Amino acid sequence: MGGPSPWEGLPVFESSSVSASSPASSGAPSGSASGETTTLRFLDVGQADATLIQQGSGFILIDAADSAHDEELIHDLQAAGVQTIDLLVMTHPHADHIGAMADVLETFTVKQVLLPDFDKAPLPTTRTFEKVLEQIETQNIPTVTAEPGWTFTLGEGTLTVLGAGVETKDYNELSIAGRFDSPDLTYLFTGDGESGVEQDLLDSGVNLSAQVYKAGHHGSSTSSGEKFLSYVRPQIAIISCGVDNEYGHPNPETLDKLNAIGAQIYRTDLQGTITVHRVNGQLQAETEKEAA
């Protein structure tokens, strides 16, 4: 659908750095034998998205907020100790997920970039998207296009691409879905994927169970379907959305579905940045502020 690949001329990700395999079992992690711990930070970037995974001394950044929160994002990454980003993931090219990505690429050393499969969608033409590609090319950063089964190792953890979107003209449905498995926790993300992405994942038969789940599309009613959630069954659900946003996110029906499966719900609009890690053997979420 998208015509010529937008990645022609960009450096290609060396295959020796990754391996395609079946997704690791989520199990019930209890901690790392080496002492390396995993921390998930769901950064408060308004009605946008940015998630930082830290495993030991390594970092993966999934999406990069919008342009209105570029300074806050850079500050928060630096405060978390980020100097080098081992993998930068663009789940899909909407501005609320890539708005500050060019600034991130310019500010930090980024080793690799994981990109959506644009053979399934029309090529984006926004200036925001073009700036990201320009930074990747200028800095000669290796790239790879997402495909199911692709894996990336970070310390003792592994990020596995579970789904690479579906053919679409709506970039939400192009979203990369993946899971991070470590000795500490399991984490599932679906970008802004809606019913098409979720059904594709269900049809593929991949293991969707995870202890931590970031609700798709900011808690929209078009994501986090009842059947899908019955396979994920998260202990903790995170919703990234802006205060009094015009979209009404999160949708009350989505909150009801998450409550029905017993998930502990945390929201960036009410609680600011949310940090999830294991403390004394127990999975805990710490919030920047108390919910009103």
Q: Render 214-271 in DSSP notation, one character per residue.
A: EPGGGG-TTSS-HHHHHHH--SEEEE---TT-TT-PSPHHHHHHHHHTTPEEEEHHHH
CA-CA distance, 117 to 176, in Å (whole number)?
A: 8
Looking at CATH, the fold of the domain delimited by 38-287 is given as: Metallo-beta-lactamase; Chain A (3.60.15)
- Which pTM does this prediction carry? 0.90
Quick one: how far is CA 231 from the chain centroid?
Answer: 19
Per-residue pLDDT of the chain (292 residues; tens, 9 = 90+): 333 444 455 555 443 233 333 333 334 454 555 568 999 999 999 999 999 999 999 999 999 999 999 999 999 999 999 999 999 999 999 999 999 999 999 999 999 999 999 999 998 999 999 999 999 999 999 999 999 999 999 999 999 999 999 999 999 999 999 999 999 999 999 999 999 999 999 999 999 999 999 999 999 999 999 999 999 999 999 999 999 898 889 999 999 999 999 999 999 999 999 999 999 899 999 999 887 6
Write phi, then psi, for 127 (nearest 5 degrees).
-65, -35
What are the tens digits of pLDDT across the range 44-59? Answer: 999 999 999 999 999 9
What are the tens digits of pLDDT across the range 197-215? Answer: 999 999 999 999 999 999 9
Which ranges in 121-194 belong to alpha helices (H)? 127-138
Letter for the amino acid at 179? R
Residues 6+ apart with CB under 8 A from 248: none
Computed from CA positions of residues 116, 28, 216, 136, in that sequence, does the dihedral angle turn out positive or negative? negative
pLDDT at 49: 97
Computed from CA positions of residues 96, 97, 100, 102, in that sequence, does the dihedral angle turn out positive or negative? negative
Domain boundaries in the chain? 38-287
Six token digits for residue 75: 């500050």
The answer to whether residues 223 and 194 touch, using CB atoms and an 8 Å cutoff, is yes
Which of 238, 291, 235 shows the shortest CA–CA distance to 261? 235
What are the tens digits of pLDDT across the range 130-154? Answer: 999 999 999 999 999 999 999 999 9
The answer to whether residues 40 and 277 touch, using CB atoms and an 8 Å cutoff, is yes
pLDDT at 53: 98
